Copies of this chain bind each other. A is one copy, B any other.
Amino acid sequence: MNVDDVVNAFVPGPRVRIPGRAGGPLAGLSFAAKDLFDVAGLPTGGGNHDWVKFNPVPESHGWSVQTLLDAGADFVGKTITDEVSLGILGENPFDGTPTNPAAPDRVPGGSSSGSAAAVAAGLCDTALGTDTGGSVRVPSSFCGLYGIRPTHGRIDVTGMMPQAPSSDTTGWFARDAETFVRVSSVMLGEEPGPLPTRLLIAVDAFGFADPEVAEALQPMVARLAGIVGEVREEIMAPQGLSVWSKAQRTLQPVEAWATFQPWVESANPRMAFSVVAGLLNGAQMPAADRSWASLMRQEARARLRHLLPPGTILCLPTTPFPAPKRGLPLPALQPLRDRINCLCAQGGLTGSPQVSLPGATVDGAPVGLSIIGGRGTDAALVAVAQAMENAA
């Protein structure tokens, strides 16, 4: 195992290795954890140097870290994250921006940037991330990885830094389906399956993605259709992808402000301009907007319950385009973030599980195909990932 951090995936400083329990189901695997997860005795950095100064070093492992160690995987380091998980592109001015191993001139995606980069570069077999608004799914798509956002509430988030609790989830990455299945079985406490029998193709989401992306994903969709059987085109968000996104981009910043306000007001921390702008957006959100967004969340949940009875999954492009170039100025980034959010909002809004599958590229850069199931059907999505690789 190469432990030389050639892609700037790990947080700066000496790296601690913690061996997993001998003989577990993940024996022989190594894992990293996004620097939002507590590892006993190590500071939880949160991607911001004024976070670590104002928060104590944890005395116990977070639930997910402990679970992977108990299953036999070796912990090999903490990975770079966007500041306090507020970012979708993976650029961090404190610890640096990890290299996207699949497309080195492009961003890795975030906020679980270092975890994705470490797995994609082969520095570890799997890595923990968090996904509130897309922070596992987007780097999965951009780095060409398997990545899961589990059903909201399914994975214990003890020892994971919160952002917007009603949307926060713990996810993980892998390079191959076999590892993805092994890790998922442990984390979910459930073997893969059953395979779904109906596939919905989200025509609104495919239409919203760049045409090159929709086209590049067609062979994967065809393979998926071959596995699942019955296929139907459907509109995922009849109210509008941008409307679902607007609702999520209302609720999430309000919760994030509630989470970080005590720290911000006591520490007046240094943060990237764009991160403060996002927090203030939440601080200043009008009550009427919040009320509307809560109602739209109910509509979105009802829509996915209606579309996704047991045995049915839906597919869509994980991101509307492959990773943008590194170092773009803020005015160029904002419209890209906005478009990404339109394809990711359903996760935080509805809590449905989603897996991003690798296998397509545009201009040489990866882009993922996502599958979504009804709440609690995480293991069925994992089974699809396995079947997709077997059918490749």
Chain A residues packing against B (C-beta within 8 Å): 50, 91, 93-94, 264-266, 268-274, 276-277, 279-280, 329-331
User: How far apart are the CA atoms of A277 and B330 in the complex, in Å?
Assistant: 17
Q: Pick the contact of A270: B94, B268, B277 (CB < 8 A).
A: B94
**A269 is contacted by which of B50, B265, B272 (Cβ under 8 Å)?**
B272
> Which of B265, B273, B329 is A330 in contact with, Cβ under 8 Å?
B265
A273 touches B277 (CB 8 A): no
Which chain B positions have C-beta within 8 A of A279?
Answer: 273
Q: A272-B270, A276-B271, A280-B277 are known contacts. Are A264 and B94 too (CB-CB below 8 A)?
A: no
CB distance from A359 to the nearest CB of B (A): 33
Question: A276 — which chain B residues lie within 8 A by C-beta?
Answer: 271, 273, 276-277, 280
**Given known A-B contacts A276-B276, A280-B277, A270 and B329 have beta carbons under 8 A apart:** no
Q: Contact between B268 and A274 (Cβ–Cβ < 8 Å)?
A: yes
Asked if residues B94 and A265 are in contact (CB atoms below 8 Å), the reply is no
**Residue among A91, A93, A331 facing the most chain B CB atoms (10 A cut-off):** A93
Q: Is A266 a contact of B329 with CB atoms below 8 Å?
A: yes
Which of A266, A270, A274 is packed against the most chain B CB atoms within 10 Å?
A270
Q: How far is the CB of A191 from chain B (nearest CB, A)?
A: 45
Return the 9 tightest CB-CB contacts between A and B, nearest first: A276-B276, A265-B330, A270-B270, A266-B329, A268-B272, A264-B273, A265-B329, A268-B274, A268-B273
